[in-house]
Structure 1
Amino acid sequence: MMTDQTHDFPVTSEAGARLRIEELAPEARFSLRVRPTNAPVLGQALGLDLPGRIGQIAEAQGRKALCLGPDEWLICAPEAARDAIVEAARDAYVAASHSLTEISDREISYAISGPAAQELLSIACPRDLDRLAPGEAVRTVFDSAQVVLWRDGPEAFRLDVWRSFAPHVRALLDIGRAEIDAGL
């Protein structure tokens, strides 16, 4: 005869309720380098305004443009838009010389959300995350890995990590989650 045992405690841990880490689906990504005077031409071709301030994000038609430097943007879009972006940039080249490099396979993205998300990221990110406003993103480091950190909301972040560093970063995130769960 078998017995069934039931428990009154929750299946998810406190950190599980306070913290969520998930790998995001792949997307088309491009590194765009263009002189700021030519940025409006490329923005029009790509269907969004390229922001002029470092850390600023523009969104349109499911595409995002993040200003990483005075002449550098990260363009993210659904994978289905990849060919259209390449074609639009190619067509705009005569009017505005630029460099558009596809980097889609270079990075993996993690969504980190919940009331403990900022606490988790602070274990290996030297930036003052209180100064990163929702709707902004920055290039920074997580431990020794270069990352792009997006703040999607008060308790929601996205971490873009080079594929070669992803196992290291994910292991640190999991260790941090365990420490937060244990109250360390």
Structure 2
Amino acid sequence: MAEPYGESPLAAHTDVLTRSSVPGTVRLSEVAFSAQVTLRVDPKSPAAERIGTALGTMLPNQSGQVARTERLLIAWLGPDEWLLVGPEGEAGTIRTTVTEALGEEHGAVVDVSAHRTIIEVSGPKAPELLAKGCALDLHRRSFGADRCAQTLLARAGVLLVCREAEPPAYWVFVRASFARYLADWLNDAAAEYHWSSCA
């Protein structure tokens, strides 16, 4: 019997991301196979408090907030919805932890790890590069570290998370079916930085 084999959405596009990167200016790479679990629960319920205790940080309660622990990132998606992101292979552990804390209360915990991949965009020109296809104000005063937003990037729906403000580093969560399109768009958008680095 054949062994199961998984391939990330951008496995065949690694060279595209590598070519897009310009040392000291902008860097693109895929963060493949991250554990991703969505949670829906009443934020004012005892279950939400138990889940926060179990995870090691309370669920973000404001639009665009991100909470982090040593191994987990929790992004606010809506008034009663969050995305929990952890290391590869830990979706089952995250799901079990949250489900046990949820108990008998109303809520939903779903493994969506195969739904999206993550493109990391970092470096001094990262905000400028993303601004070419995104209407958000990405200045660190408006969209600094531990902020997130569901938005459009080059007409593709994404979840954008600012991981670091200085130097800028973003995670772009994109549906697997749009990942190659977005990688190609980023490659084209970054072309000018290759010319300026050679000038």
Under TM normalisation by the shorter chain, which class is it?
0.7 to 0.9
Q: How far does residue 105 in structure 1 lie from its aligned partner after superposition?
A: 0.8
Which residue of structure 2 aligns with residue 27 of structure 1?
34
Rounded to whole Å, the distance in 1 between the matches of 2:65 and 2:21 is 34
Which residue of structure 2 aligns with residue 78 of structure 1?
87
Per-residue Cα deviation, 1:105-139 (whole angstroms, up to 9, x for no partner): 11111111111111110111111111111121111
Rounded to whole Å, the distance in 2 between the matches of 1:101 and 1:177 is 35
Larger Rg: 1
Contact (CA 8 Å) 1:120, 1:180: kept in 2 or not?
no
Rounded to whole Å, the distance in 2 between the matches of 1:14 and 1:97 is 45
Rounded to whole Å, the distance in 1 between the matches of 2:60 and 2:29 is 28
Rounded to whole Å, the distance in 2 between the matches of 1:57 and 1:129 is 16
Aligned residues: 172
Which residue of structure 1 aligns with residue 159 of structure 2?
148
Select between 166-175 and 50-59 the one with higher mean Cα deviation: 50-59
Question: Does residue 36 of structure 1 match 2:49?
Answer: no
Rounded to whole Å, the distance in 2 between the matches of 1:14 and 1:65 is 28
Question: Does residue 49 of structure 1 match 2:62?
Answer: no
Which residue of structure 2 aligns with residue 167 of structure 1?
180
> Structure 1 residues 89 and 117, CA, compared in 2 at 3 Å: closer, same or farther?
same
> Structure 1 residues 72 and 14, CA, compared in 2 at 3 Å: closer, same or farther?
closer
Rounded to whole Å, the distance in 1 between the matches of 2:134 and 2:154 is 6
Rounded to whole Å, the distance in 2 between the matches of 1:43 and 1:166 is 31
Q: How far does residue 52 in structure 1 lie from its aligned partner after superposition?
A: 0.7
Gap regions ≥5 residues in structure 2: 1-18
Rounded to whole Å, the distance in 2 between the matches of 1:47 and 1:84 is 14
TM-score of the two chains, using structure 1 as the length reference: 0.85
- Secondary structure in structure 2 of the residue aligned to 1:133: coil
Q: How far does residue 14 in structure 1 lie from its aligned partner after superposition?
A: 9.3
Identity %: 31
> Structure 1 residues 95 and 60, CA, compared in 2 at 3 Å: closer, same or farther?
farther
Per-residue Cα deviation, 1:28-87 (whole angstroms, up to 9, x for no partner): 101111111122122223333111112111112401111111111010111343222222
> Structure 1 residues 75 and 36, CA, compared in 2 at 3 Å: closer, same or farther?
same
Residue pairs, 1:4-23, within 5 angstroms: 15-23=22-30
Q: How far does residue 95 in structure 1 lie from its aligned partner after superposition?
A: 4.6
Question: Does residue 127 of structure 1 match 2:127?
Answer: no
Q: Which portions of structure 1, spanning 4 or more consecutive aligned residues, are displaced by more than 6 angstroms?
A: none
TM-score of the two chains, using structure 2 as the length reference: 0.79
> Structure 1 residues 90 and 178, CA, compared in 2 at 3 Å: closer, same or farther?
same
